[in-house]
A and B are shown apart, each in its own frame.
Chain A
């Protein structure tokens, strides 16, 4: 009895090892899943929150921002500094806009708070590493973003 169990153990153990080998060797001949990042990139979902941008209206040649300061108040880290002036036609316009990305946590409250379609998340720009901390303090020119002709899914964000 013990003899039979001894041999069946050996055979079943050997069989199990072969099953394991067939799995790994099968994977050896399957393709790889690696994306070689700097050369190859995966497409990001349109709504992914990569970088906050100020929307610039190309037709009117001005930012959409009217300096209502809602984003500044919504920001939990106080990383938005924003000034505006009342123009001759009585409408307020943003003059300076500074967002310190070194303290920004990309919570998106400012984008949510904005009632004038002036702030948005952009999915393409995700390589935001810089060499100096000061470079993270971006002004309106650095954050200027013109919406493509056919906005993909950015509307859904609002």
Chain B
């Protein structure tokens, strides 16, 4: 039997339903299944984000000819575990004049909004929590929700730096949402589906990954995704040298960890979307398909490569000024992505004629 993501999901769900039948709660399967899926996804993402923080520190270190964390555990792998423990046992310092309820809700919202994006990510054929037929639209909508949380955090902290960070973030995310969506449009035009699984299936049938015809879209997408995740060089909402910590200046302990986790999950989600749209998701490289490596391993490998690229951005490019950021978003990314749509449509029409419509 082939060891694929689909089979693993099948085995696990068979096992779970056997347990339900033994416990006599088969009728509740529709309620319990999503909860288990969410818990599994949360555990995966928590471990993965810890790994990513370690990876980021290692990548930055090696780019600066340093070693990076290497004391806690083998190659410093447990450094982030130690950091997470430190963050959770820290005192939760709250500003006295904060707006209590929004201050409490903001980190939760930013975490939940980014985490919900994981729902439609197809790790392998059939290995997806819920294959929505509007998957890509759902992800764009749900990750855009973080701007509200960030604005809330900035406002409720009652701190001028936090407020400035929140405003900057709102301006930035709203500006960069547009090229993000526009860069996805050509893919949707070519595949005719919004489902992420469907897009990967199309790439499998077509026999090429969309990175090749849509390199411009990929560049725009990865740039806007970096901006969406508030990462350098687009990290003006939390520019350390200007705004202390930006919107999370007044947060400490677990709440700060939530923002931190949210930022990294945003990176994971947007990189997953990039892998799915442009690198063929779980599809193997055709000349390596004889190895029968499971699809989710391929997916994770490609995911790590894209995340590495985003990390390389952070440790290479200097931060943009606010006006440069807006110039770049509105005067470069949006016109170029619109041109890309027109170009794709023209080529598509020339190649396939009227039947493409």
Indicate if A128 sits at the interface (CB-CB under 8 A): no
> B62 contacts A14, CB within 8 Å?
no
Question: Once bound together, how far apart are the Cα atoms of A34 and B65, in whole Å?
Answer: 7
Using Cβ atoms and an 8 Å threshold, which residues of chain B touch A36? 67, 70
Indicate if A33 sits at the interface (CB-CB under 8 A): yes
Number of interface residues of B (CB under 8 A): 17
Indicate if A10 sits at the interface (CB-CB under 8 A): yes
> A30 contacts B315, CB within 8 Å?
no
Given A20-B316, A25-B63, A32-B66, list of 5 further CB < 8 A pairs?
Answer: A10-B336, A17-B317, A31-B65, A34-B66, A36-B70
Using Cβ atoms and an 8 Å threshold, which residues of chain B touch A62? none
Using Cβ atoms and an 8 Å threshold, which residues of chain B touch A10? 332, 336
Using Cβ atoms and an 8 Å threshold, which residues of chain A touch B66? 32-34
Using Cβ atoms and an 8 Å threshold, which residues of chain A touch B332? 10
Indicate if B64 sits at the interface (CB-CB under 8 A): yes
**What is the predominant secondary structure among interface residues of chain A facing chain B?**
helix
Select B316's contact among A14, A21, A30, beta carbons within 8 Å: A21
* Distance between A124 CB and nearest chain B CB, rounded to angstroms: 26
Contacts from B to A (Cβ < 8 Å): 59, 61-67, 70, 219, 312-313, 315-317, 332, 336
Using Cβ atoms and an 8 Å threshold, which residues of chain A touch B59? 28
Question: Once bound together, how far apart are the Cα atoms of A52 and B226, in whole Å?
Answer: 57
Question: Once bound together, how far apart are the Cα atoms of A24 and B314, in whole Å?
Answer: 11
Number of interface residues of A (CB under 8 A): 17
Indicate if A131 sits at the interface (CB-CB under 8 A): no
Using Cβ atoms and an 8 Å threshold, which residues of chain B touch A24? 63, 312, 315-316
> A27 contacts B65, CB within 8 Å?
yes
Using Cβ atoms and an 8 Å threshold, which residues of chain B touch A31? 65
> B316 contacts A28, CB within 8 Å?
no
> B67 contacts A34, CB within 8 Å?
yes
Nearest A residue (CB) for B336: A10
> A33 contacts B219, CB within 8 Å?
no
List 15 A-B residue pairs with CB atoms under 8 Å apart, sorted by A's residue number: A10-B332, A17-B317, A21-B312, A21-B313, A23-B316, A24-B312, A25-B63, A27-B63, A31-B65, A32-B61, A32-B65, A32-B67, A34-B66, A34-B67, A36-B70
> A28 contacts B62, CB within 8 Å?
yes
Nearest B residue (CB) for A22: B316
Report A19-62 CB contacts with B as 1/0, cut-off 8 Å.
Answer: 01101110111111110100000000000000000000000000
